[in-house]
Structure 1
Amino acid sequence: MLLATAWSEAAFGAALIADPVGFGPASSSSWLATAVAGYNWQSGSLVYGFEGDISWVGLKSDTSGQFVPRSPTAFVYPSEVTSANIDWYGTVRGRLGWTYGSFLFYGTGGVAYGNVNLTNRYDLGTSGQTAGLGPVITQTSGVKFGWTAGVGADYMLRPNLILNFEYRYVDLGTVSLPATPAPAPLQALVSSSASAHAQFQAVTIGLSYKFAPPSGPNAAYASMKGRAAAPLPPSDPWQGLYLGGRTGGAWGNNLSVTTPTGFRPPV
């Protein structure tokens, strides 16, 4: 997917065209591990609150190939490796849900951010054919911001222990690298441009500990009277601060390369 030409008309007598071998779009899948904290308020069956998390993930998409000249007299055989990597991300979200027995079904959405890296390594020759000319490496890396949305369910195993299942979509936007010419005297050889859509889906399972709210008047009265009977259960069992961890899998991070066309050597 790259049209490359050899040095010049004077050097080779005619432009040489190279055909790609390999390349193509790529995506990836990975494990993930998450630390989460949040707070719920409850009004009847309605539960609402906010949640924040930070996740470690290994989404690395790679594509590679070599450009083989059509002319058997050529000695320049460029190759290219492009990779897109997401190694961590975080979110700050709102949550809104409804309770049904020991279950809480909810939707969630908010801001996402994460570290996205896109690297292109363009080697001007293989097997020492262009000795003295190192690879051309271009890279962009940094924290990108986007959005996230998902759905999930909590199950109250105990008053302070919550089992969580969740599906989430995360979109950190698109990053790109332009096509890069080789150094002199091989400027006619140009790398592919590359872009990565830093989006992915994730499914997780986890446990959270919910801190008990302050004792209500029912519990205080029972303590004052010395009664053995347990106080009535709270009317808002989901309300309060919680901390937890989750694990699961993620997939996405779509990578593609675009080949420039029409390049000819200078004369």
Structure 2
Amino acid sequence: MGMKRTGFGIAVGATILLASTFAASAADLPVKYKAPPPDPWNWAGLYGGINAGYSFGRDTFDQALPNLPAGRFQDGPGRILPTGGVFGGQLGYNWQIERWVLGLEGDAQWAGQRDPGCGGFECIQNFNAEVGAALVRHQVDWFTTLRGRLGYANGGYLLYVTGGAAWAGIRETATLQFDDSVASATVKNVVAGWVFGGGIEGRLSGNWTVKFEYLHLDFSPTTTTTRLATPAGLLPFDETNVVRSHVTDNIVRVGLNYRLWNAQATAPAPIDPAANAWRWTGAYAGLNGGYGVGNTSFKEFKYFDPVAPPLFGELTHYISSFAPQKVSPQGALAGGQVGYNWQINQFVVGVEGDAQWSGQKDTACAMSCFTAGGPVETVTQRYNWLATARARLGYAGSGYLLFVTAGGAWAEIEETDVFSGAAVYTSNFKQTKGGWVAGGGVEAWLSGNWTGKIEYLHFDLGSINHTFATTDQTFPTMGTQSTVRNDVIRVGVNYRLGG
């Protein structure tokens, strides 16, 4: 508890110090501003554009070799966490009735997401290079969506939710390795599913608009059966391999649209003069909620003494994961933020700090995870809380703010490692980790002193090395080494306290 309070106190203290210092200096600086005249912009019509962004998937899989004499089936989930860039275009049509906007949009995207998962039922390497490993790799080549949109227009921006159907091309590669005998097979699947999300779109100039949005894609589970065979190596094999997987994806992207054709059925709703006159300078505070998807890469270890030479005839002096394995804590977030902004013409600089409760948690298979007489080993990881202290840099449009943000981050991470040996050994521990965070989003004026925002943050919290002693004479020491990342999407409301 002491470590937890110390880390949390550092985060909150840094936030208060940054905000108060910046507010004191900014309050003495004069700002001259003249609101532009109202512009009756309307969203109705046909539009097209391009977009680019970042994707972070969380795929669950299990693997089986059913034709082995005893069979070998995975007990518990494995994780594949494909991440990468996305790029594509969209075409859509909007209808506007007063301030309400209905629309239909389709997009097609190239995707650079890929990731290997090790430990379908085994991911073991001995000190003498003996290997028993099952690996599955997912590569998202493309995806496309067809969605409805429902939005509320205010000022020069549009708040909207969106949902519909989605399709994707997934390249799945299964690999088996027993010592130096290796075989792989690749299958291309087209999967269908659903998509849901939301965002903010704002007018730039003329018929040009810019948007920031988040999409969650969930595809139907697949079962892929392949033949994995090789005559080479010390342990040649010919096996039927079955992989069951469930692919999900999270997309954060920015886009640029051009309205190709105006189709105004009713008179446009004039832009609220208060939105044009809104200024971002001042202190603010608010609440937020959202969702986080963690990306932790880990290796497990069992050893007698990793630097001592093996004993005569010894086969299991030192064992580790053959390749990095993954666990992905996901769940809801809730918290609050305080900050201060300073606006110069259309540019905004500021500082912001936040503290979050987190419900992110996940359990994944580790070195060995099969039911046919083998041991079952798992890693469970969760986030108890998150905190950041960040700078913000933004561009202010008519009632909205596009911003990027970066700074320091802290989190309390709780982990439970379960190992098998002469008995089952369990180790539970907590660590407060510090690192960095970067992201961006859009904030929009709502009414009075109230604003709303949607933002994405990527956390890098460094590495965790954990070892513990056991009563196992063969492996008296066990442990894990991991690198901890987290991706968060959240919405929030702020109230400007003064400025």
Q: Distance in 2 between matches of 1:107 and 1:137?
A: 42
Percent identity among equivalent residues?
26
Q: Following TM superposition, by how much is the alpha carbon of 1:187 offset from its aligned partner in structure 2, in angstroms?
A: 9.0
Whole-angstrom CA distance in 1 between matches of 2:258 and 2:96: 17
Q: Contact 2:172–2:189 at 8 Å: present in 1 too?
A: no
Higher strand proportion (structure 1 or 2): 2
Q: Residue 78 of structure 1: CA displacement?
A: 4.2
Q: 1:241 matched to which residue of 2?
A: none
1:48·1:97 contact (CA, 8 Å) conserved in 2? yes
Tell which structure's C-alpha radius of gyration is larger.
Answer: 1
The amino acid of 2:259's aligned partner reads K
Give 2:138's aligned residue. Answer: 84
TM-score by length of 1: 0.62
Structure 2 residue aligned with 1:120, among 146, 157, 174?
Answer: 174
RCO greater where, 1 or 2, for CA within 8 Å and sep 6 or more?
A: 1
Q: Of 151, 156, 164, which aligns to 1:97? A: 151
Q: 2:250 & 2:118 partners in 1: Cα distance? A: 24
Q: How many Å separate the matches in 1 of 2:264 and 2:163?
A: 32
Shift of 1:174: 2.3
Cα distance, 1:175 vs. partner?
Answer: 2.6
Q: Give the drift of 1:157.
A: 1.6
> How far apart are residue 25 of structure 1 and its match?
2.8
**In structure 1, what is the equivalent of residue 103 of structure 2?**
49
Moved more, 138-147 or 91-100: 138-147
Structure 2 gaps of 5+ residues are 1-61, 71-76, 271-292, 296-325, 328-363, 375-499
How many angstroms does 1:197 deviate by? 2.2
Change (3 A) 1:200 1:213: same
1:198 maps to amino acid: V
Secondary structure of the residue that 1:261 maps to in structure 2? Answer: coil
2:79, 2:99 → 1: CA distance? 47
Q: Of the candidates 265, 268, 286, which is equivalent to residue 235 of structure 1?
A: 268
Q: How large is the RMSD of aligned CA atoms in angstroms?
A: 4.4
State the alpha-carbon separation in 2 of the partners of residues 252 and 148 from structure 1. Answer: 20
2:263 pairs with 1:209: no
Q: What is the aligned length?
A: 208
| Residue 370 of structure 2 corresponds to residue 259 of structure 1 | yes
Aligned residue number for residue 149 of structure 1:
196
Whether the aligned pair in 2 keeps the contact of 1:193 and 1:260 (CA below 8 Å) is: no
State the match for 2:222 in structure 1.
Answer: 175
Structure 2 counterpart of 1:82, which letter? V
2:268 aligned partner, one-letter code: S
Per-residue CA deviation, residues 157-200 of structure 1 (Å, 9 max, x unaligned), is: 2240111111110112223445967679x798868754432111
CA deviation after TM superposition for structure 1 residue 212, in Å: 4.1
Unmatched tracts of structure 1, length 5 or more = 9-14, 16-22, 217-233, 238-250
Equivalent of 2:94, from 23, 40, 48? 40
Instruction: Write the distance in 2 (CA, Å) between the matches of 1:260 and 1:137.
Output: 23
**Deviation string for 1:51-96 (max 9, x for gaps)?**
00011112212123654589x9xx9744443201111100011111
8 Å contact kept, 1:107–1:151:
yes
Shift of 1:37: 0.5
State TM-score, norm by structure 2: 0.35
Give me the whole-angstrom Cα distance separating, in 2, the residues matched to 1:102 and 1:197: 40
Closer/same/farther in 2, CA of residues 25 and 214 from structure 1, 3 Å limit: closer
Name the CA shift for 1:235/1:142 in 2 (closer, same or farther; >3 Å): same
Following TM superposition, by how much is the alpha carbon of 1:235 offset from its aligned partner in structure 2, in angstroms?
1.5
Q: State how far apart, in whole Å, the 2-side matches of 1:67 and 1:159 are.
A: 60
- Contact 1:201–1:252 (Cα < 8 Å) also in 2: no
CA contact (8 A) 2:168 2:191 kept: yes
**Shift in Å, 1:2:** 10
State the alpha-carbon separation in 1 of the partners of residues 173 and 156 from structure 2.
48
